[in-house]
């Protein structure tokens, strides 16, 4: 990599930016993507801010972006917005692509990244398959938001008498002492997605302490995440494949019980291809850097949007 690269790992809770020149690099942090305003001006603002803060002179900008759609993946438009910065090339991809490249590099297999949301990407010999990542309203099964929503529903079932008692009720009362008013307060909260997802950590803790409801939620989340992985792998696997790697990323997998249940679910549904769970080689920001050198024949190249030339 001869060009100076400014890479962005853009998520809803924060954006990590890395300026890499040769072997040296510098990282800076920015706030998360604001989904209710246009994306590209936000990225342009981050690029200019990172240049100001680091004093760097990148010629290539790469970005892995949470929830990137074809409508927003206009690399030409972003390049135009960066006029005067010295940037000559822009490369954009969904963060599932950069998560995969960061975690597995050129290895074939699947990466499931589960934080506030969740997306799974599998890469085979000549095809890729994305599963879920459809947002909290239509998908993200097993994500931090999904777990938090399940927790809040269980609390209200406990409150009504429709479900078993759970220690999660006491946790929620710390924020909303009057549980029958909690839903109104939550609906009026601007960052309600983050608030709901924050309860995933309480589910993990209470599951470890033996709360039956938290344990059940954790089991269901693990099953959903494993289903996404096995589905994605089936869509890209060849009969000749011997073994495919699976890598897990994101805060949801900090739950020891969830990770154990996830691994067990994978073992129970091996199908025609052996699945080996491996540790990640790197993070999403490493995958964003790797976009700059992604070869055209690579299966992931079809999922990348670029403009300009370095």
Q: 250-261, pLDDT tens digit by residue?
A: 999 999 999 999
Please name each of the domains of the chain with its CATH number: 5-101+283-308 (3.30.420.40), 106-280 (3.30.420.40)
Among 53, 49, 61, 48, residue whose Cα is nearest residue 20: 61
Q: 145-201, pLDDT tens digit by residue?
A: 999 999 999 999 999 999 999 999 999 999 999 999 999 999 998 889 889 999 999
pLDDT at residue number 239: 63
pLDDT at residue number 13: 76
**Got the DSSP string for 165-206?**
--THHHHHHTT-SSGGGHHHHHHT-TTHHHHHHHHHHHHHHH
Name the 3-class secondary structure at 17. Answer: strand
pTM given for the model = 0.85
**Got the DSSP string for 226-277?**
HHHHHHHHHHH--TT--EEEEEEESGGGG-HHHHHHHHHHHHHT-TTSEEEE
């Amino acid at each position: 990599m001869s060009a100076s690269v400014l890479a962005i790992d853009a998520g809803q809770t924060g954006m990590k930016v890395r300026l890499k020149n040769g072997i040296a690099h510098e990282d800076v942090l920015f706030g998360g993507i604001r989904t209710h305003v246009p994306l590209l001006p936000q990225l342009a603002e981050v690029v200019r801010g990172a240049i100001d803060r680091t004093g760097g002179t990148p010629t290539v900008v790469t970005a892995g972006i949470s929830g990137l759609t074809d409508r927003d993946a206009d690399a030409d438009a972003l390049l135009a917005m960066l006029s005067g910065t010295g940037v000559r090339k822009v490369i954009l991809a969904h963060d599932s692509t950069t998560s995969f490249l960061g975690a597995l590099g050129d290895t074939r297999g699947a990466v499931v990244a589960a934080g506030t949301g969740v997306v799974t990407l599998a890469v085979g010999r000549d095809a890729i398959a994305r599963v879920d990542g459809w947002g909290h309203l239509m998908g993200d099964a097993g994500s931090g938001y999904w777990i938090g929503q399940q927790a809040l529903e269980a609390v209200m079932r406990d409150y009504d008498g429709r479900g078993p008692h759970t220690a999660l009720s006491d946790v929620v009362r710390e924020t909303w002492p009057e549980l029958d008013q909690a839903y109104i307060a939550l609906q009026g909260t601007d960052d309600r997605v983050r608030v709901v997802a924050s309860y995933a950590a309480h589910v993990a803790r209470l599951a470890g302490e033996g709360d039956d409801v938290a344990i059940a939620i954790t089991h269901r989340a693990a099953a959903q995440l494993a289903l996404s992985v096995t589905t994605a792998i089936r869509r890209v696997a060849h009969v000749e494949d011997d073994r495919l790697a699976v890598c897990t990323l994101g805060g949801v997998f900090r739950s020891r019980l969830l990770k154990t249940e996830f691994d067990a679910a994978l073992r129970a549904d091996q199908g025609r291809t052996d699945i080996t769970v491996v540790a990640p080689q790197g993070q999403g920001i490493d995958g964003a850097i790797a976009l700059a050198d992604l070869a055209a024949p690579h299966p992931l190249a079809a999922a990348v949007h670029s403009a300009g030339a370095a």
